Amino acid sequence: MRFQKYLILSAMAAFISVAVACNSGETNAEEPVEEEAATEASSEIIMPDPSELALLMRKMFDENMAMKEQIMNGGGAPESFPEEYYNLHTADATEPEKITAVYHAMGDSYLQSMKAVVDAPEGEEVKLFNNMVNTCIACHQSVSCQGPIARIKKLRIPTPDEA
């Protein structure tokens, strides 16, 4: 029956999107490749284009890594707020059902903490930067997007009391 076929197909599509969304987003060339090569090759066949939100997140990750390095090298906090980050409220997600009221609240709290980094008084950059990274992680936990968390933790700037 045509309708049943449709149901089966949409169930499969739902399964595939759950399998690819909120993955680790790990494309780092420095990581060992061997172990991942096999799974990556097979998942590439079904991997749809990354969503708008996934692309924004990757950009946020890269730019935050650059901010971390700048702060660690004594270059201080970024001078201007990356306005594009506001788009996290409107960008299309791989799993739109994750974009809930909680998501938007966590998004605002993240944007606030990012502003605090830009406005950081001298000497407070590390503390405020790590606080901001925690808000990335808090949202990932709340919307059940655990995959990238290990990677996001690498953004934290080590401090003496953490060592």
- Smallest distance, Å, CB 30 to ligand HEC? 15
Cβ–Cβ < 8 Å for 76, 67: no
Cβ–Cβ < 8 Å for 14, 43: no
For residues 6 to 45, the per-residue mask of contacts with ligand HEC, x marking binding by CB under 6 A and - elsewhere, is: ---------------xxx-x--------------------
**In which element (H, E) is residue 35 found?**
helix 34-44
DSSP tag of 80: S
Interactions with ligand HEC, residue window 88-147 (CB under 6 A)? 88, 93-94, 98, 103, 106-107, 110, 135-136, 139-140, 143, 145
Alpha-carbon distance of 65 to 54, in angstroms, equals: 17
Does residue 71 touch ligand HEC according to CB under 6 A? Answer: no
DSSP tag of 30: T
Alpha-carbon distance of 80 to 22, in angstroms, equals: 29
Q: Binding residues for ligand HEC, per CB under 6 A?
A: 21-23, 25, 50-51, 53-54, 57-58, 60-61, 64, 88, 93-94, 98, 103, 106-107, 110, 135-136, 139-140, 143, 145, 148, 151-152
